[in-house]
């Protein structure tokens, strides 16, 4: 039997598996094969979760975390859970929970299980699950993986201070790890204050991150004389769990299969892996996505960037689908060929291919997507158009000089008027305030300036005066386009090129009816203003 030569094989440096590689050009490297394997969508429905703490309002980074978990669940036909990690009572914000529900639903992220919805693995507030954490902490105490620590806060503070002064690690020294179990049980039974710590293993746990690949080294740490151990507290002296215990227990009991979270949690993940191992549980798959930073590389914060989702909605008037589209692109590497996607398209095209490293947030792309989504809504006539019109009308009513013209219509008439303008000029829409500013000639009293009299302008003026008085002429864009073309032909007949005649006519019309502002075509502008208003503006110029 003939065997392929050794040169056709290579050994993967990570898994030490011998692989067949007939051609470098035809087959990817081992590293590429590993990346492709870990970034493959799961074959079975994923159960994901978003587990915020109600110590503040939903911000851009948290929304992205929720969205990535939501998209993964929906892409695979799985479930998206909402869980409140509300054990930090001192920092809880009174209305944060209510705002969280409002913001998520506004963004289109409805959870399948969680508060206000229910589900088979509730309750979904950690403050209502303390008995569960107590049981599992006690179970761990029956193993070599956990121990009670009776050290006072004062001792721990002094220990950390002394070590810091000596330039040593400030981790715990395991003073209480050697207390015999019967003595530990007795002291606890007598009511002596204590916490429960995880005894970290000698070998650092490793895991394969969907984004970063193999993380950690499965080697025994070097022993030192200045022994210090990063034994995290699992259960605090007040009976409440720490994030480490509650997070792991809840993810296991709620059958979470995938956890997508920020890279700030990567340092904690080995502890979580150790805890999964201590319980004898299979851990979920982890994906750590880069932090959001500003254009100077600084982490986004309220000091340099208003990241509150409510601010995007209420102050900037961003459309929900524009914001979710924008957030989805922050660190997600897609091959769709376009960035504009609805929620349905995001779900359909979603993959678990995220870029490594921090992600720079620039609002330029957000305004681009805002414009494109507005155009889409107007062209499709969705219910969102009513929201856009209402937001624009609120800005119009707040204009200082609007009172002088507000009697032109009642509220319903004004909204219909705004809707017509929006339909015409939606291609330039980004926000209600900008839209009103660039179309102010529709909303404010006329403030045009006199137009110099010359032979050509006088021809246009005469034709206009005749036009506004011809009641048998339909005041529609189609008819007005024909009349404008007739003006151009008349001006061009006086030894002027047709192109030049068109410029003269349209410039005159724009100065009369739009105060010289750019905007929709003049036939459309005149049709929206109406015959009466056009006549009034023409008279104003004539009298000036």
- Please list the active-site residues: 302
Dihedral sign for Cα atoms in the order 367, 373, 375, 381 = negative
Structure tokens at 350: 């979603």
Cα separation, 465 vs 413, whole angstroms: 27
- Give the whole-angstrom CA distance, residue 426 versus residue 313: 19
Token duo for residue 515 = 């105060």
Angle (deg, nearest 10), helices 477-492 and 522-529: 130
**Measured at the alpha carbon of residue 279, what is the angle toward residues 273 and 282, in degrees to the nearest 5?**
55
Q: For residue 123, is the peptide bond before it cis, meaning its omega torsion is within 30 degrees of 0?
A: yes
7 by Cβ neighbours in 10 Å (0-12 / 13-18 / 19+) ranks as: exposed
> Residues 6 or more apart from 163 whose CB is under 8 A from it?
169, 170, 226, 228
Task: Give the Cα separation of 412 and 38 in Å (integer).
Answer: 56
Residue with tokens 């669940």: 73
By DSSP bridging, strand 292-293 and strand 47-50 are: unpaired
CA distance 509 to 497: 18
Q: Report the interhelical angle of 455-469 vs 477-492 (nearest 10°).
A: 150
> How far out from the chain centre does Cα 543 lie?
55
**Spatial separation of the C-alpha atoms in residues 255 and 440, rounded to whole Å:** 56
The percent of the chain in helix, strand and coil, each rounded to the nearest 5, is 50, 10, 40
| Crossing angle of helices 522-529 and 411-425, rounded to 10° | 180
What is the token pair recorded at 66? 């929720």
Residues 39 and 31: their CA atoms lie apart, in Å, by: 12
- Give the strand pairing for 258-262 and 79-82: unpaired
Q: What is the 3-state secondary structure (H, E, C) of 114-139?
A: ECCCECCCCCCEHHHCHHHHHHHHHH
Euclidean distance between CA atoms 390 and 418, whole angstroms: 9
Q: Give CA angle at 361 (53, 367), nearest 5°.
A: 110
Q: Phi and psi dihedrals of 532, rounded to 5?
A: -65, -45
CA distances from 328 to 65, 83, 280, 437 (A): 9, 21, 35, 30
What's the token pair of residue 344? 């349905």
**Pairing mode of beta strands 292-293, 359-360:** parallel
């Amino acid at each position: 039997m003939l065997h392929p030569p050794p040169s056709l094989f290579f050994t993967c440096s990570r898994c030490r598996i011998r692989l067949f590689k007939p051609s470098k050009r035809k087959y990817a490297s081992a590293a590429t094969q590993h990346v492709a394997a870990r970034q493959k969508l799961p074959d079975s429905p994923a159960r994901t979760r978003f587990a915020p703490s109600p110590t503040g309002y939903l911000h851009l980074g948290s929304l992205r975390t929720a969205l990535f978990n939501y998209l993964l669940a929906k892409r695979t036909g799985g479930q998206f859970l909402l869980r409140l990690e509300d054990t930090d009572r001192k920092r809880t914000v009174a209305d944060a929970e209510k705002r969280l529900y409002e913001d998520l639903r506004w963004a289109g992220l409805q959870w399948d299980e969680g508060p206000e919805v229910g589900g088979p693995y509730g309750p979904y507030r950690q403050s209502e699950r303390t008995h569960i954490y107590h049981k599992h902490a006690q179970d761990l105490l029956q193993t070599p993986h956990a121990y009670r620590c009776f050290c006072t806060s004062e001792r721990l503070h002094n220990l950390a201070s002394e070590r810091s002064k000596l330039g040593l690690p400030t981790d715990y020294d395991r003073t209480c790890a050697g207390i015999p179990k019967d003595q530990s049980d007795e002291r606890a039974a007598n009511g002596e204050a204590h916490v429960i710590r995880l005894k970290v293993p000698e070998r650092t746990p490793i895991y394969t991150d969907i984004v970063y690949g193999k993380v950690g080294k499965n080697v025994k740490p070097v022993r030192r004389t200045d022994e210090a151990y990063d034994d995290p507290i699992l259960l605090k002296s007040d009976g409440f769990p720490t994030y480490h215990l509650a997070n792991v227990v809840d993810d296991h009991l709620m059958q979470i299969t995938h956890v997508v979270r920020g890279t700030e949690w990567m340092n904690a993940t080995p502890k979580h892996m150790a805890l999964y191992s201590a319980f004898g549980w299979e851990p979920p798959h982890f994906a750590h996505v880069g932090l959001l930073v500003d254009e100077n590389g600084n982490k986004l914060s309220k000091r340099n960037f208003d990241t509150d989702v409510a601010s995007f909605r209420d102050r900037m008037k961003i459309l929900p689908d524009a914001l979710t589209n924008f957030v989805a692109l922050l660190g997600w590497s897609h091959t769709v060929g376009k960035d504009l996607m609805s929620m349905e398209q995001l779900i359909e095209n979603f993959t678990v291919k995220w870029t490594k490293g921090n992600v720079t947030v620039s609002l330029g792309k957000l305004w681009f997507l805002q414009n494109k989504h507005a155009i889409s809504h107007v062209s499709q006539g969705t219910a969102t158009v009513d929201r856009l019109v209402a937001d624009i009308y609120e800005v119009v009513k707040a204009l200082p000089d609007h009172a002088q013209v507000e009697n032109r219509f009642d509220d319903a008439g004004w909204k219909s008027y705004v809707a017509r303008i929006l339909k015409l000029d939606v291609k330039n829409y980004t926000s209600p305030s900008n839209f009103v500013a660039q179309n102010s000639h529709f909303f404010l009293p006329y403030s045009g300036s006199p137009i110099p009299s010359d032979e050509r302008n006088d021809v246009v003026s005469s034709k206009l005066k005749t036009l506004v008085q011809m009641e048998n002429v339909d005041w529609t864009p189609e008819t007005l386009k024909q009349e404008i073309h007739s003006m151009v032909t008349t001006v061009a007949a006086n030894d002027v090129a047709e192109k030049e005649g068109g410029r003269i006519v349209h410039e005159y019309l724009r100065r009369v009816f739009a105060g010289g502002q750019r905007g929709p075509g003049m036939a459309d502008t005149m049709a929206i203003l109406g015959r009466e208003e056009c006549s009034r503006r023409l008279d104003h110029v004539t009298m000036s």
